[in-house]
Amino acid sequence: MIQPRQVAPNPDTWETGTLDFMDLLEQLRPPWMRRGSCRDHSELTWFPEHGAPGNPTAAAIAICRLCLVRTDCLTYAVDRPELRGIWGGESERGRERLRGHAR
Ligand code: SF4
């Protein structure tokens, strides 16, 4: 649950009386995100550059398949078409297909 801030953030440091900016971001995340397997890996794995050689999404998708919060993650991402990268073991195109099937 988000705790109320006691003072406005300092724009130079984003620190507040009780929370710094990163703590605030952390508290805004849905709880399942704290249990995602991707937290132990480089963010680059889930957001490969377009046109990267080989199969740059394979590692992320393999990790997602074993993730305990995959269903929550995929549901979250399917509801948010603006999200980029791999979520819930699906690419942007894969999630787009799922949205099409849900209609
Ligand atoms: S399903 Fe994949 S992207 Fe989602 S939390 Fe798990 S590891 Fe991360």
**Cβ of 19 less than 6 Å from ligand 1:** no
d(CA 94, CA 9): 39
One-letter amino acid at 8 equals A
**Cβ of 77 less than 6 Å from ligand 1:** no
| Residue ranges of domains in the chain | 1-33, 36-102
d(CA 53, CA 65): 22
Place of tokens 């480089």: 42
d(CA 37, CA 19): 26
Asked if pLDDT for residue 1 goes beyond 60, the answer is no
Q: What percent of the chain has pLDDT over 90?
A: 51
Alpha-helical runs (H) found in 1-91:
21-28, 58-65, 70-78
d(CA 23, CA 20): 5
CA 24–ligand 1 middle distance (angstroms): 21
What's the rounded mean pLDDT across residues 56-69? 94
**Cβ of 94 less than 6 Å from ligand 1:** no
Are the C-beta atoms of 15 and 27 separated by less than 8 Å?
A: no
d(CA 45, CA 29): 20
**Greater pLDDT, 21 or 9:** 21
